[in-house]
Amino acid sequence: MEQKIHQGRNVKRFREMLGIKQEALAFDLGNDWNQKKFLC
Q: pLDDT 10s digit of each residue in the chain, 40 long?
A: 677 878 888 889 999 999 999 888 888 888 777 666 665 5
- Angle 7-18/22-29 helices, nearest 10 degrees? 100
Q: What whole-number distance in Å separates Cα of residue 21 and Cα of residue 15?
A: 7
Establish if 16 belongs to a structural domain.
Answer: yes
> Amino acid identity of 1?
M
Q: Is residue 33 part of a domain?
A: yes
Burial class (CB in 10 A: 0-12, 13-18, 19+), 4: exposed
CA distance 11 to 20: 11
1 inside domain: no
- Model confidence, pTM: 0.59
Specify the number of domains making up the chain: 1
Q: Is 22 within 8 Å of 15 (Cβ atoms)?
A: yes
Domain of 25?
A: 7-39
Secondary structure (3-state) at 1: coil
